[in-house]
Each structure stands twice: as structure tokens, then as C-alpha cells.
Amino acid sequence: MPEQQRSATSTLDTVAVAATDPDRHQPWADLGLKADEYARIREILGRRPTSSELAMYSVMWSEHCSYKSSKVHLKQFSEIPQETPAGKMLAGIGENAGVIDVGQGYAVTFKVESHNHPSYVEPYQGAATGVGGIVRDILAMGARPVAVMDPLRFGPLDAPDTHRVLPGIVAGVGGYGNCLGLPNIGGEAVFDASYAGNPLVNALCVGVLRHEDLHLAKASGVGNQVILYGARTGGDGIGGVSVLASETFDADGPAKRPSVQVGDPFMEKLLIECTLEIFAAGLVAGIQDLGGAGLSCATSELASAGDGGMHVELDRVPLRDSTLAPEEILMSESQERMMAVVEPGDVEAFMAICAKWDVEAVVVGEVTDTGRLEIDWHGERVVDVPPRTVAHEGPTYERPYARPSWQDALQADRAEDLARPASGAELLETLLRLVASPNLCDKSWITDQYDRYVRGNTVLAQPSDSGMVRIDEETNLGVAVSTDCNGRFAKLDPYAGAQLALAESYRNVATGGATPLAISDCLNFGSPEDTDVMWQFAEACRGLKDGCLELGIPVTGGNVSLYNQTGETAILPTPVVAVLGVIDDVTTRTPSGFAAAGERVFLLGETREELSGSEWANVVHGHLGGTPPRVDLAAEKALAELLAEGRGLLTSAHDLADGGLAQALVEASLHRMVGARVSVADVAGGDAFVALFSESAGRVLVTVAEGEEDRLVELAARHGVPLTALGVTGGDAVSVEGQFDAPLLEVRSAWMATIPAALA
Amino acid sequence: MKVGVVTFPGSLDDVDAQRAVRIGGHEAVALWHGDHDLRGVDAVVLPGGFSYGDYLRCGAISRFSPVMTEVVAAAERGMPVLGICNGFQILCESHLLPGALIRNTEQRFLCLDQPLRVENNRTPWTSSYDEGAEIVVALKNGEGSFVADAETLDRLEGEGQVVARYLGNPNGSLRDIAGICNERGNVVGLMPHPEHSVEDLTGTGTDGLGFFTSLAAGVFA
């Protein structure tokens, strides 16, 4: 339909119209609001909302923005002391991202978020804008983004749709992140049938700032100017609002527009440099990025966090599509936009910096003392609301939850009872099969599409256990990050599964020599309207809270993604945990691969017969049942302390996780093609299969130079960490005494072939 | 020496290039794409990145930046100019170097630790290397496949203008060409990133440092 005809037939729904036409039918249900929520909006306003107001409330009260199902469980995270092992947090939950002190006057902010559903609909743009969104969150805190990471989950590697989704998502993550000049320093790629119709794209960003540069999202100071800058606002990402538009427009409705946002990383790069220059010049009183819910979110959150009032002239917003209606402008999720609150005297300097970077900037409003968010469209008021009611006083649900009826049967079906390989030849066959399986194979087909070197500060990246970047070139201060989750463990026991994710991520950061300080989480679950899923969610939150309390590290923020399911089938509960740690001197980090022949190989930690939920059970038997490995956070803490103190002594350290000791030996050997000759006679009571394939937590494979064994024995004894001597590095095979020799060339070709072959 | 590093909108490896210049023993001078003078520098590096988002064609918009007028004039007077990755693309678009860079044969962005052989150590950017030296530096590009017509390729080979060749061609570059220079040798374009290979701690080691220490030898000064 011709655009002119559309705008000619639209009628503006103003506050005045709402008063004279109180009973007009409104499409609240189509916008995802429940009857009681719509009634609540009418009660707040004392009248029916205008269509613009309805648009704002519907998007801000959505699950995605309001956390209405998860809030009651998330609030327990604030019971954890807001303090890290390095000191008080500078900003906590509720800000765009938490900010922690890492010493030497530096602070670090990091956060992990989901972009799951858009990435299924349009893999490239969904993943790309996921990266873009999290980077702006970090930028909005006043920090320079310094690295990204992407935990990804897909359906089976051999499923046809995975061949559509995976290359697109990986290209999108790379295409956007590479163009921003941010090194991608790690992440995950996990395959499970439950993600087939619902891949998970989680994106993490780390940023660095000086303490004094912290900026918070608030609109303070009456008379301060509200500036919208960055990309123009278009019709992308407005999905559901079309029902509003179709009411205002002719019966034919508006042109179909993509509901997935489209990213422009070049604009984002300019926005980053421009914003950092604006920060450096001291021109910002408050700032907010525009992500989900676009202007609805930015205006209402800024106003409610500040002095409580804001007046916006919406027709000043630069548009890509001049036919957009006010409702659409308020809900548009066009990317690469920021909103800043600036003192009137600083506006000129602000605009000059934007002009230098060719970034369009417009004053769209000002801070008021009315306590209301007032938005006009060509002089007519279309929004007049108390901003807190939009941003923070959305509905809260106490969703019913109950332990699933099938949970006991699932836990009774133990993988420890499955048939096992017995001979050395069978163990070797199992090892080769596992290293080539989708979850354990080489992921370089994916990670080689990401720039891991840009900015020149990457100290560790894939395939290391954690990513590590230097943040000060003079002092060599650095930070390390890891993201982890084993959804199979979480399915077997969501409380323990969440703690195992926490423990693994914590251990991975410690393995490189850093001291874990804080976590961010991305809680990916199915429908909260399913009591089974809601129980998984509640248990995972409780597990995380108890785990963080015991480890003495806070939750700095994160994200919840619900409704991840295909039909009635929910994804594996997937509480992805990102742990950030600090290392005072990155030159002392411990690498994860064997460096040279002749070094002594040891196993730290205790190996139990724990096979339920393991990759062995998954790959060999297609089995998921039993209870996950035991969680011992006190042991994890002792292990982390040992690893930090062991810097310089340890020539390598590699976490044991999926695939157990066998996989760890293979990965450590393949790093530089330095093999090892080991005996597992002293592991797990001499049961070679359990020793090699159990996935007990709290274990790390380490090496020391010949002659340094006693120092390691003393160190382990002092920290109370069990230590087992395994053997010595060298040779061109992983040789397990009395069992098998696995030639590295053969292992490597099996390990590397899987993903390229599947996607060829 | 004073070595200018140009920042275009969308340049990404400018900070890395500045660091490499400093580690190489020189003073790094930041140049802005809108500048009309080169601030008295003795050499210029055009760094990697996605200048102007690689829109239209990699390097096609940047060549019209004001600073490029100055860079082209200085290059023609003999000033050493090194274009890395996107900088190489800009040099081709500016006709300071022949040929062009097109999408990798795999059609994917690739980030690799790439072995190279230095074929020509008679340029101001490579004089620290032995001829035939085999080095490993970072490679990262989506459009790094060097192409030119056969006649141009023959001329490049014949005149010793092939500066570096891939050992194991990652992107389909004709005759494994990773870097070339102009006839005079002062302008070098290189697809891999030696600026990511100047420290033991980060990147792929220190094999790339020679590109930044070579300047001091002053072969072409």
C-alpha cells in the first residue's frame, strides 16, 4: 500500500482523545498484555492509555523487559554481599551492568545477555545485534569495551536446520564483533537436541574504566537536555506493535517490516569512539543505551532513575522511514542508538564531538521536575505517565512451580549402570569416538571466524580455559573471563547443575592464574507457565545464590531468557554462568597446554565414579539420567587458591570438565603436539575407565618442570587439595600405561574433522 | 623516526600499529583521516580495520579521505608507507599498488596464525629480515585474496615486488602472494598483521617486529 495513503489515513491518539473516547477498544491482548495488566494501566492513569502509552507499557511490561516471572527468584541475589574479594562493588544489579573494582584505580564491568529468539528467526542479524546490544550496555557504564565472548547452543550437528542456523549465527557474531575491533576471547559451542528449534545465542562483553569515569543511567538536573544520538530510527524490530498500527491505519495494514533488528557495526564503532570521547570530555550527566524496547525503555528508565520528570518531543527523532507512527517510534528497536542527558552549557561541545565522528545527534527533550514522562508528537501530547510505573512497577508473578513428576525416575536411571568399555582397545576406541563428538571436538571452524588479536592485549583466548586480556600495559594488570554451563547436569538437578556451572566457570578463571571476583549470569529456560520449568528456574537461582555465598563472590547482573522451547518441549535448563577474575600481572598467567617434553604431569582434585550426565553417557549411550557430579565449593575455593599461588611453578594447567581426564589429556597434548605418558593406576581406585571418563568436578590437570615435584606436593598439601602423580610429558601420543597409546596425529585428525565435515 | 598511523572511521588496529611502532623504537604519531597534513612524519602506516564499514568496496571510500591526498603525494616522493590488511586495500584503491583484494575462497572471515616467507628484504619495512626468512604472524580478514591479471603478476614477480608469500595459502591469493611493494619499494601492502606479532605475551610471538624495526636501517631514507 502506498506510504502516503497510510499516513493520510492515520489518526493520532492523544491524551485528549483518550479522555473524550474512554471506551475505545484497544488491542492489549495482541500486544501480550493480560486483562488484569490492562486494567492496572487504566488504574495508574485514571483513564484508558493512548495507543502510544499502550505501546510503552506493553513492551516494558513484557517478560523480556520486566522480568515479571523471574523477579521473585532473582531478588535473592541481592542477599549476597555486594562485595568481591577485591573490594566493594561500584555499581550493582539494576544498572546496565555491574561494575567491580580490580585495583590500581581500574574498574571492570561485564555482562552476559541472550539473543535467542531473533537468532533462530534470522541467524546472522539476530546474533550480530546480540553482540551490538551487550557492547552498548557496557559502553553506557562509561567503560571502553575490550573483549567479547559468545556461549552458543545448537541442535544436533547433523540436523539440517543446524546447517542454516550455525553458520549464520557464527558469521553474525564475527561480522559484528570483528568490525567493532573487539577481540573474541572464548565462549562455548554446545549441541543438544533440545536446542534444535531454539538455539541459544548468549553474548558477553567486558569493559574497562577508571573509577572516576563511572556513568549511571539517570536523568538528573532540571533543564538538562536529552540527546538522542547514533543511528536513525527505523521500522526494524517493532514486531508486535503492528497491531496498534493496523488499528490506526487502513484495513490493509502497514507494510510488513522485519521483526528482527538489523545491525550496522560500523555505526556502532563510531558510536563507541564518539561516546568515549564525550565521556573523556566530561559532557555527560546520565546515559542509557537503546536496546530492547528502544525509546520506551530509555526515556522511562532515565526519567525514573533521575529527578523523575522528562519532556520529549518525539517528532524530533531522526527517522529512516518518515511514515513511522509515534507508537512505532517508541517501540522501534533500531540498533546503534544512545541517549544522553547533558547540561545545557555542554550541548555545543557534545554536538561537536558527534560531528567529528559523523554521528547524528539531536536534542529531543529535557529533564523536568513534573515527576511525569511527557511525550509530544507535533505539539500534541501522546504520552503522560509516571515513568516508574513503566520502567519499574510492572507486574510481578509468583508463578506456581513444582518438582516435576518425572524427576525421581530420571535420577534413578543412573549412567553408572550402563555397559562400559573394558579392555585397553575399547578404552582407546571410546576416547577416539568422544574426541570427535560434537561437544568435545575442535571448534576452530567457529572461533577462527572471530578476531582474537585486535587491540593487542589478548593474553589467552580459545582454546584456553578462560579468555584473558591485559588492561594496563605498564603494570600488566589483567582480567580473565569464562562462561560455562552443562545443561545436562542442570536437567538432572537444577540446583546442583547451576552450582556446577558456577564451579566450572570459577575454576576456568582460576586455571589461568586469575582470582575469581564476580559473576554475571544468563538464565536460559523454557516456559515459566510450565510448573516443571519454573521449578528448574527456582532451583537454579537458589543454587547460584547459595554457591555465590559460599564462594564469596557477588552476582553483578545478568539476563533471563524464558519461553525457550519448541512446542511443549523445553530446552535443557541452561543457566550460563560467566565468572570474571583479576590477575595482577598477566605475564605470570598459566597456559593450558603442555609446553615441552619432560615435564611432570599431575592431577589435582578427587575423581569419583560420576558418569551420569557425562559426555560418555551422552555420546556412547544417548543416555541422560542419574544425578550429576557432587558439588564441593570449599574444594573449588582451595583449588583456586592453589592455582593462583602456583603461578610460576605450574608450567600448564587445564580444567577437567566434559569428557573428563581423557579429554583434558588430549586437549593439553594437541595444543603444541606434545604428548604424555601417564598411569591412571592411582586415580579412582585404579578403575581406568572411571579415571579417564568420569566428570567429577573440582579437578585440574597440571604440569611442573622436572625437579619441582616437591614444591607442588607441598603446595597441594598446604591447600588440602588431593594430588596424584600421573606421569611425564613428551612423545607423539597420549599413552596410558597398560591400556593404550593414542597417536596424536590420529587423535588430532579425528578431533578436527567433525565440524568442517558436517558443515561442508 | 616519527611514524604516522592514520585513523579512518572504522579503523580498528590503529592502537596496535601505534604500539608496534613504539616497540620498534620509533615515535608513533596519530593522524586523523580528515587531516590535510602529515605532521612532519617520516613514514606512514595505514592500519587494519573496516574503514567506512567496508561499504561499497574495501578501501574504496577511504582513498578519498583528505589525508590520503597527502599520503599519495608523500609516497610518490619516496616516503615509506605500509598498508596492513584494510590499509593494503586502501593502497590498491589509491593505485599506489597494483591488483585488488577479493573475498576469501572459503567465503568466511579467517583469523589464523599464518606462516609467511619474506621474499624481498630490500624495502624500508623488511630490511630487518633475511631474504627467505620464514615467520609466523597473525592473519585476519574476510577479503584478503590477492588478485591481478597475469601480466601484472609476472611483472611483480620479475621486478621482485612480491614482498611476502603465504606458506599454506589460506585465502586463495594468486601465487600465494601475501604482500607486495611498488616499483620503488617504499610502499608496501601486506594482508597479514605484523603489528599483532610484536610481543611474546600477546598475538603470535615477535616475528612481526621486523616490519617496524626495519625503518631504522634507513635503506630508502
Q: Do B201 and A181 touch (CB under 8 A)?
A: no
Q: Say whether residue A355 is in contact with chain B using an 8 A CB cutoff.
A: no
Can you give the three-state secondary structure of A312-339, one letter per residue? EEHHHCCECCCCCCHHHHHHCCCCCEEE
Contacts of A512 in chain B (CB under 8 A): none
Residue A256: pLDDT above 60? no
pLDDT of residue A255 exceeding 80, the answer is no
Does A306 have pLDDT greater than 90? no
- Looking at the DSSP bridge assignments, the partners of residue A558 are A521
What are the sequence ranges of the domains in chain B? 2-217
Residues of chain B contacting residue A473, judged by C-beta atoms under 8 Å apart = 19
Task: Please choose, from the candidates B124, B25, B8, B106, the residue with its C-alpha nearest in 3D space to the C-alpha of residue A266.
Answer: B8
- Mean pLDDT is lowest, of A238-242, A422-426, A546-550, for A238-242
Q: Are A542 and A495 in contact (CB under 8 A)?
A: yes
Are B55 and A587 in contact (CB < 8 Å)? no
What is the C-alpha end-to-end distance of chain B, expressed in Å?
A: 11
| Contacting residues of A for B109, CB less than 8 Å apart | 171, 174-175, 178, 449-451
Distance CA B84, CA B67 (A): 17
Give ∠ CA A105-A109-A112 in degrees, rounded to 5.
Answer: 165
In order of A260, A432, A445, A670, the CA distances from A239 in angstroms are: 8, 47, 33, 47
Q: Give the Å distances, CA to CA, from B129 to A251, B116, B188, B211.
A: 73, 12, 15, 8
Show residues of chain B in contact with A270, CB under 8 Å: 9-10
Residues of chain B whose beta carbon is less than 8 angstroms from a beta carbon of chain A are 9-10, 12-13, 15-16, 19-20, 49-50, 52-55, 108-112, 138, 140, 142, 193, 195-196, 198-199, 201-204
Buried-state track A744-759, b at ≥16 Cβ within 10 A, e below 16: beebbebbbebbeebe
Residue A371 has pLDDT above 80, yes or no: yes
Mean pLDDT computed over A213-227: 85
Condensed to tens digits (0 to 9), the pLDDT of residues B59-95 reads 999 999 999 999 999 999 999 999 999 999 999 999 9
pLDDT of the residue at B218: 57
Tens digit of pLDDT for each residue in A484-500? 999 999 999 999 999 99
Give DSSP secondary structure letters for A544-590. Answer: HHHHHHHHT--EEEEEEE---EETTEEPPPEEEEEEEEEES-GGGPP
What are the catalytic residues of A? 64, 115
A456, B199 Cβ separation under 8 angstroms: yes
Q: How many A/B residue pairs have CB atoms within 8 Å?
A: 86
pLDDT higher than 50, residue A249:
no
Taking CA atoms, A154 is separated from A200, A202, A460, A663, in Å, by 7, 12, 25, 21
Contact B16 A357 (CB under 8 A): no
Report CA B46 to chain centroid distance, whole Å: 7
**What mean pLDDT is predicted for residues A626-647?**
98
A628 interfaces chain B, CB cutoff of 8 Å: no
- With cut-offs at 50, 70 and 90, classify the pLDDT of residue A262: confident
State which residue of chain A sits closest to B35, comparing Cα positions.
A356
Q: How far apart are CA A39 and CA A47, in angstroms?
A: 10
Q: Say whether A449 and B110 touch across the interface (CB within 8 A).
A: yes
* Whole-angstrom distance, CA of residue A334 vs CA of residue A295: 10
Residue A216: pLDDT band with limits 50, 70, 90 = confident
Mutate one of B136, B202, B207, B209 to test the A interface: name it (highest A CB count within 10 A). Answer: B202
Q: Which three cell numbers stand for residue B99?
A: 591488483
Q: State the cell numbers at B190.
A: 601486506
Whole-angstrom distance, CA of residue A305 vs CA of residue A297: 12
Q: What is the chain B residue with the closest CA to A357?
A: B9
* B50 with A178: Cβ contact below 8 A: yes
Task: Give the tens place of pLDDT for each residue, A47-65.
Answer: 999 999 999 999 999 888 8
Share of chain A above pLDDT 90, in %: 87
pLDDT tens profile A8-62: 345 899 999 999 999 999 999 988 899 999 999 999 999 999 999 999 999 999 8
Contact status of A171 with chain B (Cβ, < 8 Å)? yes
What lies within 8 Å, CB to CB, of A707 at 6+ separation is none
**Taking CB atoms and an 8 Å limit, are B110 and A448 in contact across chains?**
yes
d(CA A291, CA A338): 9
Q: Evaluate if residue B221 carries a pLDDT over 90.
A: no
Report pLDDT digits (tens) over A698-741: 999 999 999 999 999 999 999 999 999 999 999 999 999 999 99
Asked if the Cβ–Cβ distance from A458 to B195 is below 8 Å, we say no
Residue type at A701?
Answer: L
CATH match of B2-217 with 3.40.640.10: no
Nearest to B202 among A179, A451, A456 (CB): A456
CA distances from A228 to A233, A317, A328 (A): 10, 7, 16
Distance CA B129, CA B134 (A): 9
CATH class, domain A3-61+223-368, is alpha beta
Residue B88's nearest CA partner among B209, B189, B176, B171 is: B189
Residue pLDDT, tens place only, A178-200 = 999 999 999 999 999 999 999 99
Length of chain A: 760
Name the average pLDDT for chain A.
93
Spatial separation of the C-alpha atoms in residues A25 and A30, rounded to whole Å = 12
Residue A88's pLDDT band, with cuts at 50, 70 and 90, is confident
Quick one: pLDDT at residue A166? 97
The model's pTM: 0.95
Q: Which amino acid type is present at position A432?
A: L
pLDDT over 50 at B182, yes or no: yes
For residue B138, list its beta bridge partners.
B113, B193
Residues A287-303: pLDDT tens digits?
999 988 899 999 999 99
At A552, give phi and psi (nearest 5°). Answer: 75, 35
Q: How far apart are CA A502 and CA A77, in angstroms?
A: 14
Instruction: Tell me which chain B residues have a C-beta less than 8 angstroms from the C-beta of A449.
Output: 108-111
What pLDDT is stored for residue A91 in this prediction?
84
In this complex, do A451 and B140 lie within 8 Å of one another by their Cβ atoms?
yes
Residue A261: predicted pLDDT = 78
SS3 A289: strand
Three-state DSSP state, B113: strand
State which residue of chain A sits closest to B114, comparing Cα positions.
A448
Per-residue cell: A20: 473524550
What is the rounded CA–CA span in Å between residue A560 and residue A576?
A: 10
- Of A10, A3, A68, residue with least CA distance to A40: A68
A127 to chain B: which residues are within 8 Å by CB? none
Q: What sign results for the dihedral spanned by CA atoms A165, A168, A174, A175?
A: negative
A710 part of contact set with chain B, CB < 8 Å: no
B contacts of A470 (beta carbons < 8 Å): 201-202
Phi–psi pair at A745, nearest 5 degrees: -65, -40
B201:A587 CB<8 A: yes
CB contact under 8 A, B203 and A456: yes
Please confirm whether the linkage preceding A156 is cis (ω < 30° from 0).
Answer: no
Percent of chain A with pLDDT over 70: 96
User: Where on the phi/psi map is residue A685: left (φ > 0), alpha (ψ -120 to 50), or beta?
Assistant: left
* A557 Cβ contact list (under 8 Å, min separation 6): A92, A93, A94, A95, A97, A98, A111, A520
> A222: exposed, middle or buried (C-beta count within 10 Å: 0-12, 13-18, 19+)?
middle
Q: Is residue B143 annotated as part of the catalytic site, yes or no?
A: no
Q: How far is B52 from chain A (nearest CA, A)?
A: 7
Cell triple for A685: 581406585
Q: What distance in Å separates the CA atoms of residue A97 and residue A92, rounded to the nearest whole number?
A: 7
Catalytic residue of the set B85, B119, B181, B196: B85
Residues in chain B, overall count: 221
With H, G, I as helix, E, B as strand and everything else as coil, classify residue B160: coil
Q: Report the alpha-carbon distance of residue A605 to residue A721 in Å, rounded.
A: 6
Name A512's Cβ contacts closer than 8 Å, sequence gap at least 6: A460, A464, A465, A466, A468, A480, A581, A583, A589, A590, A591, A592, A653
Contact residues, chain B, for A457 at CB < 8 Å: 202
Q: What is the CA radius of gyration of chain A?
A: 27
Nearest-by-Cβ selection for A266 from B13, B53, B204: B53
Domain layout of chain A by residue ranges: 3-61+223-368, 71-212+405-759
- A6: pLDDT strictly greater than 50: no
Q: Which three three-digit cell numbers place residue A721?
A: 587439595
The pLDDT of A423-437, averaged and rounded, is: 98
Q: Does A181 touch chain B (CB under 8 A)?
A: yes
Q: Checking phi first, is residue A476 left (phi over 0); if not, alpha (psi -120 to 50) or beta?
A: left
- Bridge partner residues of B117 (DSSP): B134, B165
Question: Are the C-beta atoms of A176 and A131 separated by less than 8 Å?
Answer: yes
pLDDT-derived band of residue A245, with 50, 70 and 90 as boundaries?
very low
Residue in chain A closest to B19 (alpha carbons) equals A456
Residue A305's pLDDT band (cuts 50, 70, 90):
confident
